[in-house]
Amino acid sequence: MNFKLLKTILSLLLFAVLGTAGFAGEHLAPDVADFLLAIRQVESGDRYDCPPGPVGEQGPYQFKRDVWYQHTRENFRLARSRYADEVALMHYRWLKERLRKNDLEVSPWNLAAAWNAGVSAVVSQRIPRGTRDYANRVANLVRADAELRRRHTPVIKIASL
């Protein structure tokens, strides 16, 4: 086996085990990366330069100012930069922890509903129709990304010696 092929196979194996390259050099599990990509796609068409939302939301994740400052002291205009990825990861982890503390399933649907309407809406099960549609869109994108990755991740059989 040549060295280049071996290197390619090892790279694919590492990708399958560690997930996609994360933010700030961190490796994210594929489900986390898929979720954050889905949020960006639904919120902004995956655009970092998208216009502000109707109540001043900024960036690819359409952060509200109070959510931004819940996780960072950096200037809110950085919500339109790659730094937004780091804040999104912090917010994802915060939502995940809140769902767990309330004995709720940490699913893409629940996370998306909490992202859009807040954890209290998910806990109380008083989720607006628009948020339900939003959560369905995000969950469907996460599923589609996972299926695409599954179909394109090679299965490597290692012969016994």
The angle subtended at Cα 95 by Cα 89 and Cα 101, nearest 5°, is 140
Q: What is the Cα–Cα distance from 91 to 97, expressed in whole angstroms?
A: 10
Q: Answer whether residue 158 shows pLDDT above 50.
A: yes
The predicted-structure confidence for 22-75, as pLDDT tens digits, reads as follows 444 455 666 899 999 999 999 999 999 999 999 999 999 999 999 999 999 999
Alpha-carbon gap, residue 64 to 76, rounded angstroms: 9
> Mind listing the pLDDT tens digit for each residue in 114-128?
999 999 999 999 999
* Residues facing 27 on adjacent strands: 21
Among candidate residues 134, 123, 57, 56, the one with its CA nearest the CA of residue 95: 123
Q: What is the reported pTM? A: 0.77
Helix, strand, coil proportions of the chain in percent (round to 5)? 65, 0, 30
